[in-house]
């Protein structure tokens, strides 16, 4: 029997003994204060002033440490806000309770009621007069739960991670704070929050491989949504001129430090606006988040110093490829044969059937993306890789589209919307041709969406912001798994 199994067996024996005397899982404990509130209000008060006040409090939390000495002992319990110390004396709680207290284990959930006082070392504590075991912990908490060797356990058993790893818990508190701020920011600009279907009969809204499922009663094959885009744009047809949704998307793709099969996006659509308006709004939002979450516009991510006080850079994809490729000019990036020649000379592999825009995007991924450290809006995306974006009025080979990169990560994607139903129908047909040629990420033809456009969609702009990658940025997290409470894991 392993040491852990021995400890579990001992704890089960204690639980069995409790069951013979009472309900082992009672539910009648109510706290009067959280630990953080007690510390905020009373830490600054000296012992001589605090002790005579006989301030009675009731606290409850998980026991993280215990020190016993003769007829007394200390226990530190942890609630959602932080730690508070209990001082337990035999003459304060009685012999039976004190005897039980000495047998309790780390991880047990404990209730204590008593008066506040300060110890000789000036630590705020509760001198308990009532002490009860609320929940027996059957599994011992790990003594060391940090470092790469425990990464998989941290992700797989997030509940344990949150108990013992303060930094991990703080990440998810920041995440909640960020989402709340984003929601208020959008509502203050008169955007209406909506909910659209998570199961689609036709996958669309992004070029990505969908998950499939089946509706038994209707005998229908359905797809978990890869993006809410086409439904949100239907709402702009219906007269909702400013809408947003914060919700999950599902893409049947690989798992990496930047990718999880399900992830959270904020998508929003804005009638009578264009992609320049989106870039302005996005920059305002990100600066607002920096101020709200970090309290500064200058902060670091994975060793990179970022400055959100400066205007975000805006530059075309072709000019960036020319800047970082060492050999291609911006004019070369508008010539398929010259780019192919460059790839042949540099030993860059590519598909001979790729069109100009597809090869340009490949060169961008290869040479540019990792170099975009400061916030950069990459603009003028090729038509071939932008099936839902509006063509540029002056150059029909590019679209009024951008992606925002920070520290080499794509954080947002936005564009002026294509609202020409005939142009959209032709692009859907090209996507279907790609699908039939073996591209399992290509879109399907959505006849109802074309019908919606035929009723008339106002000129609009729309954007998706990756919430998970945004949280990574503001919490200095290296992996997307660090900011997902329950990331995808292979079975044990």
Q: Collapsing DSSP states into helix, strand and coil, what is residue 168?
A: helix
Task: Name the token pair of 209.
Answer: 């491989």
Beta bridge partners of 381: 399
Task: Name the token pair of 439.
Answer: 């591209």
Cα 299 to Cα 124, 167, 182, 294, 476: the distances in Å are 34, 18, 19, 8, 9
Contact 220, 194 (CB under 8 A): no
Each residue's pLDDT expressed in tens, for the chain with a length of 492 residues: 677 799 999 999 999 999 999 999 999 899 999 999 999 999 999 999 999 999 999 999 999 999 999 999 999 999 999 999 999 999 999 999 999 999 999 999 999 999 999 999 999 999 999 999 999 999 999 875 443 347 888 899 999 999 999 999 999 999 999 999 999 999 999 999 999 999 999 988 888 899 999 999 999 999 999 999 999 999 999 999 999 999 999 999 888 999 999 999 999 999 999 999 999 999 999 999 999 999 999 999 999 999 999 999 999 999 999 999 988 999 999 999 999 999 999 999 999 999 999 999 999 999 999 999 999 999 999 999 998 899 999 999 999 999 999 999 999 999 999 999 999 999 999 989 998 888 888 888 999 999 999 999 999 999 999 999 999 999 999 999 999 999 998 888
Contact 363, 339 (CB under 8 A): yes
Which uninterrupted H or E stretch holds 245?
Answer: strand 242-250
80: phi then psi, degrees, rounded to nearest 5: -65, -20
Which uninterrupted H or E stretch holds 87?
Answer: strand 83-89
Question: Mean pLDDT score of the chain, rounded to an integer?
Answer: 94
Cα 240 to Cα 141, 185, 243: the distances in Å are 51, 18, 7
Contact 99, 31 (CB under 8 A): no
**Among 342, 401, 349, 403, residue whose Cα is nearest residue 372:** 403
**Among 162, 134, 123, 153, residue whose Cα is nearest residue 63:** 134
The CA-based angle 278-321-346, given to 5 degrees, is 155
What burial class does residue 226 get, using C-beta atoms within 10 Å of its C-beta: 0-12 exposed, 13-18 middle, 19+ buried? buried
pLDDT on residue 148: 32
Q: Collapsing DSSP states into helix, strand and coil, what is residue 402?
A: strand
Contact 15, 138 (CB under 8 A): yes
**Among 54, 62, 288, 253, residue whose Cα is nearest residue 163:** 62
pTM, two decimal places: 0.92
93: phi then psi, degrees, rounded to nearest 5: -115, -10
pLDDT on residue 382: 96
Q: Which long-range contacts (CB under 8 A, 24 or more apart) does 40-46 make?
A: 42/116, 42/124, 43/124, 46/118
pLDDT on residue 92: 96
Cα 336 to Cα 341, 342, 393, 428: the distances in Å are 9, 10, 22, 24
End-to-end CA distance of the chain: 21
E-only strand ranges, 355-485: 376-382, 398-406, 409-416, 460-466
In angstroms, the CA 347 to CA 336 distance is: 16
Whether 410 has a binding-site annotation, put simply, is yes
Write the CATH number of the domain with boundaries 3-135. Answer: 2.40.50.140
pLDDT on residue 150: 73
In angstroms, the CA 258 to CA 470 distance is: 11
What burial class does residue 121 get, using C-beta atoms within 10 Å of its C-beta: 0-12 exposed, 13-18 middle, 19+ buried? exposed
- In the chain, residues under CATH classification 2.40.50.140 are 3-135
**Among 239, 155, 252, 257, residue whose Cα is nearest residue 213:** 252
What residues contact residue 110 under an 8 Å CB cut-off, 6+ apart? 60, 61, 62, 63, 75, 77, 86, 104, 131, 132, 133, 134
**HSE of 60 in the Cβ direction (CA atoms, 13 Å)?**
12
Contact 480, 260 (CB under 8 A): yes
Q: Which long-range contacts (CB under 8 A, 24 or more apart) does 259-264 make?
A: 259/480, 260/468, 260/480, 260/481, 260/484, 260/487, 260/488, 261/211, 261/488, 262/488, 263/466, 263/467, 263/468, 263/480, 263/484, 264/466, 264/467, 264/468
**Among 34, 54, 44, 63, residue whose Cα is nearest residue 124:** 44
pLDDT on residue 1: 66
At the fourth CATH level, which superfamily is domain 164-312+374-483?
Bira Bifunctional Protein; Domain 2 (3.30.930.10)
Cα 73 to Cα 54, 76, 98, 135: the distances in Å are 20, 10, 9, 20
- In the chain, residues under CATH classification 3.30.930.10 are 164-312+374-483
Task: Name the token pair of 49.
Answer: 């002033």
**Among 267, 278, 272, 230, residue whose Cα is nearest residue 444:** 230
């Amino acid at each position: 029997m392993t040491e852990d199994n021995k400890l579990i067996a001992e704890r089960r024996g204690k639980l069995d003994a409790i069951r013979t005397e009472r309900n082992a899982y009672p539910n009648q404990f109510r706290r009067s204060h959280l630990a953080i509130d007690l510390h905020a209000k009373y830490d600054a008060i000296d012992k001589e002033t605090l002790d005579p006040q006989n301030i009675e409090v009731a606290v409850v939390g998980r026991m993280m440490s215990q020190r016993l000495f003769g007829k007394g002992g200390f226990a530190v319990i942890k609630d959602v806000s932080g730690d508070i110390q209990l001082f337990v004396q035999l003459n304060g709680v009685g012999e039976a309770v004190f005897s039980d207290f000495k047998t309790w284990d780390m991880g047990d959930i404990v209730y204590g009621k008593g008066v506040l006082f300060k110890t000789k070392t000036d630590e705020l504590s509760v001198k308990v007069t009532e002490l009860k075991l609320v929940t027996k912990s059957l599994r011992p908490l790990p003594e060391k739960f940090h470092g790469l060797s425990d990464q998989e356990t941290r992700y797989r058993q997030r509940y344990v991670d949150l108990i013992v790893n303060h930094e991990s818990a703080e990440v998810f508190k920041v995440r909640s704070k960020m989402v709340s701020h984003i929601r208020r920011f959008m509502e203050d600009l008169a955007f209406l929050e909506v909910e659209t279907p998570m199961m689609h009969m036709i996958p669309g809204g992004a070029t990505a491989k969908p998950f499939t499922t089946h509706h038994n009663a209707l005998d229908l094959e359905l797809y978990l949504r890869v993006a809410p885009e086409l439904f949100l744009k239907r709402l702009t047809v219906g007269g909702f001129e400013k809408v947003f949704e914060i919700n999950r998307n599902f893409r049947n793709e690989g798992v990496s430090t930047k990718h999880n099969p399900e992830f959270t996006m904020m998508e929003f659509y804005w009638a009578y606006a264009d992609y320049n308006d989106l870039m302005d709004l996005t920059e305002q939002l990100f600066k607002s988040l920096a101020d709200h979450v970090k309290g500064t516009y200058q902060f670091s991510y994975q060793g990179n110093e970022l400055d959100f006080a400066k205007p975000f850079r805006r530059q075309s994809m072709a000019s960036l490829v020319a800047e970082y490729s060492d050999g291609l000019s911006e004019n070369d990036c508008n010539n398929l044969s010259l780019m192919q020649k460059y790839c042949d000379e540099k030993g860059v592999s590519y598909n001979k059937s790729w069109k100009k825009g597809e090869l340009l995007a490949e060169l961008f991924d290869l040479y540019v993306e990792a170099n975009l450290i400061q916030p950069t809006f990459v603009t003028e995306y090729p038509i071939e890789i932008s099936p839902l974006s509006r063509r540029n009025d002056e150059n029909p080979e590019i679209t009024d589209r951008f992606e925002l990169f920070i520290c080499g990560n794509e954080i947002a994607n936005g564009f002026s919307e294509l609202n020409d139903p005939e142009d959209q129908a032709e692009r859907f047909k090209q996507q279907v041709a790609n699908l039939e040629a073996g591209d399992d990420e290509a879109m399907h033809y959505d006849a109802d969406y074309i019908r919606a456009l035929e009723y008339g969609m106002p000129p609009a702009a729309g954007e998706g912001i990756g919430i998970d990658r945004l949280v990574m940025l503001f919490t200095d997290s290296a992996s997307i798994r660090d900011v997902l409470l329950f990331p995808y894991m292979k079975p044990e």
